[in-house]
Amino acid sequence: MSKYSIEQFIRETKQDDAENDYFELETPRILEVNLTEQVWAKAGSMISYNGQIKFEREGFLEHGVGRFVKKAMSGEGSSLMKATGRGSLYLADQGKKITILELDNEEITVNGNDLLAFEPGVDWDIQLMKKVAGMMSGGLFNVKLKGRGKVAITSHYEPLTIMVRPGQPVITDPNATVAWSGHLQPEFRTDISFKTLIGRGSGESIQMEFKGDGFVIVQPFEEINTSGERGK
């Protein structure tokens, strides 16, 4: 059989029916959710499904008035959808690499653009970095997740995890920062000299500074938000 035949292509790329975890990576950039009840996912991330699955966009007050107000203040387009039913659901986000993390009574904060899906047992809340609202378009919209269950996050290309140690702060570019330990509280600062080195056209360079004990996940890519400006 030719290595370029359709039969060979199907053999190499077809879904693996033997997998049955709630979250499975069908490919590095496609997440399979073996749905039995419900899952929260990024709106617009569904690429295929089979079975009896119903999709609903997140209701205005579904998670309480407080979260709705914070979403309205953030001005971000990172809405969630709820998939309910039984079947196989396939999710992806612009070809970004997907990483699955299983929380065991732990916390992680994820950039709003980089959260793909999470199991219903995971609690979440919205965090708007108000201090940078005047520095970056709309500020930074993040989601803090905690509890037990799997979380799927995305990154452009391979992510890198940098450990944060007491007395050894880690500085990152907000546009390349994907997630960090839930208990860390990043501080924001500007550095005009750094802007000169990297040749940005206008505005001051904004940096995130992480202090304490934990980790921060970065990607080798500066994300562009929906308004066309740099920032997430």
CATH code where residue 122 lies: 3.60.160.10
Structural domain contains residue 139 = yes
Residue numbers of the domain that contains 75:
6-218
Regarding pTM above 0.85, the answer is: no
Residue 86 reports pLDDT greater than 80: yes
At a CB cut-off of 8 Å and minimum separation 6, what does 57 contact?
A: 43, 79, 80, 81, 82
Q: Is 42 helix (H, G, I), strand (E, B) or coil?
A: strand
**Does residue 223 fall inside a structural domain?**
no
Domain count, the chain: 1
Note the pLDDT of residue 101: 94
User: Is residue 199 included in any domain, yes or no?
Assistant: yes
Q: Is pLDDT at 202 greater than 50 in this prediction?
A: no
Q: Is 226 part of any domain?
A: no
Q: Is residue 119 part of a domain?
A: yes
Query: Could you tell me if 118 and 152 are in contact, meaning their C-beta atoms sit under 8 angstroms apart?
Result: yes
Q: Is residue 230 part of a domain?
A: no
Specify burial of residue 192 (Cβ count, 10 A radius: 0-12, 13-18, 19+): exposed
Residue 192 lies in a domain: yes
